[in-house]
């Protein structure tokens, strides 16, 4: 029988990540009760309909009452307002965490609002899909994926260890990281690639010499994979770029330098530069596959839709 790690977990926000957490918690059997709240009445109704959590509440304060672990699963820009709303209802000894992909701005927004007897430790599951909403979750989302644990300097070691055990029970592999380094890492591996994807899709939309039907018909040539991540939730990504501005701009500057170097090589016919560059980047891609973070199966391992 599984050990109960938290008697009650409150999920604030009921989208892909929170929904997947709820299903993974049930699969692992490590939580006594799961409560949930979402701002939208429609989302709450859907969560009730599909039995996403044990109890859907109509206010955030009701959801966090007597909870041992509170998970803030809302857009980064909403973290402070949500924390202000739930702070008076938190019980002494509770632990608050988040699942946002930016950490410094979340710490700055959340920690000043914490009651003196409530702790906060940030987490970031490095998993997701382009889908959103309460129906998008699935229990296997975190299996074999990384969850970064980002404790403040004042964090209680017992709280950090408990969160590590919790995320491992949900299927993830954990690693600790400080907030500044976290934001830089995520700017490299997540935020900037998403921004480039949004940009590439926008460029294709602007090229009137390529018709909409051609873009759709021939997208398997590479454009498909840009459109996949560019389909992600716009509210979430708007907040990510605004809240992780410095790190994203730093990496975008580096990307621009690399792009100019490739432009120059193409213009000058420098095949040796292009070959060396692509060889190095292919090695990085192979490392991602060897680390188990993707597959080398045909079609990137993505099942084709059938009629």
- The SS3 call for residue 299 is helix
Residue 128 and residue 208 share a domain: no
Asked whether residue 147 falls in the same domain as residue 186, the answer is no
Q: Which of 131, 148, 177 is the last residue of a domain?
A: 177
Please check whether residues 86 and 133 belong to one and the same domain.
yes
Q: Same domain, yes or no, for 36 and 125?
A: yes
Among 177, 202, 232, where does a domain finish? 177
Q: Is residue 105 part of a domain?
A: yes
Q: Could you give the dihedral angle defined by the CA atoms of residues 279, 283, 284 and 290, in that order, rounded to the nearest 10 degrees? A: 160
User: Which tens digits make up the pLDDT trace of 10-67?
Assistant: 999 999 999 999 999 999 999 999 999 999 999 999 999 999 999 999 999 999 999 9
- Strands in 6-12's sheet, in edge-to-edge order, are 55-56, 31-37, 6-12, 69-72, 95-98, 119-120
CATH number at residue 252: 1.10.3660.10
Q: What is the CATH number of the domain that holds 95?
A: 3.40.50.720
Are 120 and 158 found together in one domain? yes
Express each pLDDT in 196-239 by its tens digit: 877 777 776 666 666 666 666 665 656 767 667 777 778 877 88
Number of domains within the chain: 2
**pLDDT band with cut points at 50, 70 and 90 for residue 167:** very high
Same domain? 99 vs 194: no
Q: Which helix (H) or strand (E) holds 242?
A: helix 234-243
- Assess if residue 221 is contained within a domain: yes
Range among 197-201, 218-222, 244-248, 286-290 with highest mean pLDDT value: 244-248
Domain residue limits at 251: 181-269
Same domain as 220, residue 147: no
> What distance in Å separates the CA atoms of residue 243 and residue 15, rounded to the nearest whole number?
20
Does residue 296 belong to any structural domain of this protein? no
């Amino acid at each position: 029988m599984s050990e109960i790690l938290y008697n009650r977990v409150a999920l604030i926000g009921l989208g892909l990540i929170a929904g997947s957490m709820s299903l993974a918690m049930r699969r692992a059997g490590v939580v006594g009760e799961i409560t949930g709240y979402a701002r939208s009445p429609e989302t709450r109704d859907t969560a009730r309909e599909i039995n996403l959590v044990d109890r859907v509440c109509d206010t955030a304060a009701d959801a966090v009452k007597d909870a041992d672990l509170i998970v803030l699963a809302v857009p980064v820009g909403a973290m402070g307002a949500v924390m202000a709303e739930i702070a008076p209802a938190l019980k002494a000894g509770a632990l608050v965490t988040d699942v946002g992909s930016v950490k410094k701005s979340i710490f700055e927004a959340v920690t000043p609002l914490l009651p003196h007897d409530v702790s906060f430790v940030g987490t970031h599951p490095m998993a997701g899909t382009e889908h959103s909403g309460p129906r998008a979750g699935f229990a296997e989302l975190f299996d074999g994926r990384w969850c970064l644990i980002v404790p403040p300097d004042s964090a209680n070691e017992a709280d950090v260890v408990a969160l590590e055990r919790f995320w491992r029970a949900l299927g993830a592999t954990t690693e600790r990281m400080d907030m500044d380094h976290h934001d830089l890492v995520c700017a490299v591996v997540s935020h900037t690639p998403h921004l480039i994807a949004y940009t590439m899709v926008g460029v294709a939309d602007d090229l009137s010499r390529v018709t909409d039907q051609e873009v759709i018909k021939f997208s398997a040539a590479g454009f498909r994979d840009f459109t996949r991540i560019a389909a992600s939730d716009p509210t979430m990504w708007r907040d990510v770029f605004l809240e992780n501005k410095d790190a994203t701009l730093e990496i975008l500057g580096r990307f621009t330098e690399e792009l100019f170097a490739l432009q120059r090589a193409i213009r000058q016919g420098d095949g040796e530069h292009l070959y060396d560059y692509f060889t190095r980047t292919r090695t990085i891609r192979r490392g991602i596959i060897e680390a188990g973070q993707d597959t080398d199966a045909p079609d990137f391992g993505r099942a084709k839709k059938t009629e």
